Chain A
Amino acid sequence: MIKANNLSKRFSNKLAVDNISFVVDTGKVTGFLGPNGAGKSTTMRLMLGLDIGGGTTTFDNKKLNQYDQPSKIVGTLLEAKAFHPTRTARNHLRVLATAGSIPLKRVDEVLDVVGIASEAKKKPGKFSLGMSQRLGIAAAILGKPKYLILDEPANGLDPEGIAWLRDFLRDYAAGDNTVFISSHLLSEMSQMADNVVVIGKGKLIANTSIKELIAGNSRSNVFVRTANQATLESIFKKESFVYEKDSNGFKVSGVSTDKVGKLAFSANIPVLELASRDASLEEVFLELTEGSEEFQAHVATNKQGGKS
């Protein structure tokens, strides 16, 4: 288990990370979400001791520098292009293997795992972003670490690569390992992660499971369609339900399909459609981080150069 306690970091007059504490469970993929400039990368760097700031992070109750061979405990990918451009991919990994006291034969294994074994002797300076990410993932898993901390590893990967990464990380976590991953691809994250940590403007907003996060969101509702809308609406009013009415039916918040179904049945109202509609992770994310974006874009108008 990773425990981050009171992490904080200030850059001159800006508080980038504001006393954040959270837990990352073992055996699960935990997503790390936040708008641009929220402090995700800085938090990850603080966790790894790369940035000097306040707070502590423990991995199985020990700080990373209390382990003899840290790269066998935590594998990291913080930047895709973190390699010397003219040192071959294999030599890049050999350097990392040597630094981590990892057998050199492991280098070819991980190159094979990430699918770039054929590029082993090439200089990575001309690698595409996707290939660079694969090399970064190879570096992260080199020491077979229990913990993976990955910053935007899906950036630049093609659809096949993203699907591979999703399956790979889920399998990795299932082997009693822990994956902590930041991403802007929220649909991917909803399929990949079990839990999420959400931050905005350096502050912790949520640290929970994706299921709980979505279930507790106001945009999750029950949709019901009936031929007898007037009667059903009167029941909703009597029960003080929060609902929205449209031409097709009702969206009822804060109740289960069971409850709506039973009420309709007891009133002899034929139900034509009854479904639970969860908010998407993107909807929840946007609601949670509303007002905590560091940078906000505006819709282009003709005066701003948009074409009509």
Chain B
Amino acid sequence: MKAALKAEFRKLLTVRSTYFTTAIVAAFVIFIAFYVIGWRSTPMDLHNPMNLANDTINSLGVTVFGAIVAILLMTHEYRYNTIMYTLTSSNSRNKVLLAKFITVSTYALFLAAFIAVLAPLMGYLGIHAHGLKLVPQTLHIGNLAWRSLFYGWGYGMAGLLLALLTRNQVASIVALFVVPDLAEQLLGLLLKHNTVYLPFSSLNQVISTGGDRNMATSSNLSPAKAAGVYCIYLAVGWFVAWLLFIKRDAN
């Protein structure tokens, strides 16, 4: 198991797409937090004690890039047929799958933590660089931390799951954008209020309350409930993906 895990990390760290994607995330966060949120702050923003907390939450949208890294880690195996080596190096497909799970989880958590630290820092610097003054801020660190990490991890897992199910790079990436942005929106027309129970809608509700830990509306699930709903989808999806990974030919 240890060897499979080390090999997965080596795979992750020896392709340029990992660094390229992480650099894009950093660039996005710096631009959005420093310039859009910090430099261009309105007087109302400057008087909002939750400004930096909101800044953190609003920047988490770029964790979708963590899902793309997860997709590449899995689908490169099939695209370039290195799955042949991966599976013949290990005596169990379960070990390989678990190693992928841990590697993607680690990267996704790292990325979410990176964004959660970088975003408020850049926002603060942007405000001060423009010579503006921010009112004292309220940061519920624990609450922000778990929601940020869960959101980033959730997207990473979604990417890996889509890659495991489709085993196709393009199909996985298209699904990653189409399902939350189009399919769930269309389903929402039918489901109305129950839309909140769809997978990506529930994941989004983990952060939709912004920086305020207690803010919940009648139309939304609380972050904890939303996380629970999303975990149920992940559990079912992963069970199917695991079965297919074990039972399907490796090509």
B11: chain A residues at CB < 8 Å are 84, 87, 95
Q: A96–B89 contact, CB under 8 A?
A: yes
Closest Cβ of chain B: how far from A94's Cβ, in Å? 6
With both beta carbons as reference points, the residue of chain B lying nearest to A68 in the complex is identified as B91
**A76-98, CB < 8 A from B:** 76, 78-79, 81-88, 91, 94-96, 98
Residues of B within 8 A of A71 (CB): 88-89
Q: How many of chain B's residues have a CB under 8 angstroms from any CB in A?
A: 27
Please determine whether A101 and B3 come into contact, CB atoms closer than 8 angstroms. Answer: yes
Minimum CB–CB distance from B214 to chain A (whole Å) comes to 47
Residues of B in contact with A (beta carbons under 8 Å apart): 3-4, 6-7, 10-11, 14-16, 76, 80-82, 84-92, 247-251
Q: How many A-B residue pairs have CB under 8 A?
A: 91
Kindly state whether residue A103 has any CB partner on chain B within 8 Å.
no
- Interface flags for A203-230 (1: CB within 8 Å of B; 0: not) read 0000000000000000000000000000
Q: Is the CB of B80 within 8 A of A95?
A: no
Residue-wise, chain A 265-285 has the 8 Å CB interface mask toward B (1 for contact) of 000000000000000000000
CA distance A74 to B91 in the complex (A): 12
Nearest CB on B from A217, distance (A): 36
Q: A65-B91, A83-B80, A94-B10 are in contact. Are A99 and B16 (CB under 8 A)?
A: no
In chain A between 86 and 142, which residues have their CB closer than 8 angstroms to a CB of chain B? 86-88, 91, 94-96, 98-101, 139
Q: Which residue of A lies closest to B250 (CB)?
A: A50
A20-58: CB near B (< 8 Å → 1, else 0) gives: 000000000000000000000000010011111000000
Query: Judging by beta carbons under 8 Å apart, are A66 and B91 in contact?
Result: yes
User: How far does the alpha carbon of A87 sit from the alpha carbon of B7 in the complex, in Å?
Assistant: 14
The answer to whether A64 has its CB under 8 Å from any CB of chain B is yes
User: Which of A51, A84, A99 makes the CB contact (< 8 A) with B76?
Assistant: A84
Determine the distance from Cα of A71 to Cα of B80 in the docked complex, in whole angstroms.
19
A98 to B16, CA, bound (A): 19
Give the residues in chain A near B6, CB-CB below 8 Å.
Answer: 98-99
Closest 10 CB pairs of A and B: A99-B7, A99-B89, A91-B14, A82-B81, A98-B7, A50-B250, A65-B91, A51-B249, A71-B89, A101-B3
Q: Does A156 contact B (CB under 8 A)?
A: no
Residues in chain A near residue B82, CB distance under 8 A: 82-84
When the two chains form the complex, which single residue of A51, A84, A99, A139 contacts B90, counting CB atoms closer than 8 Å? A99
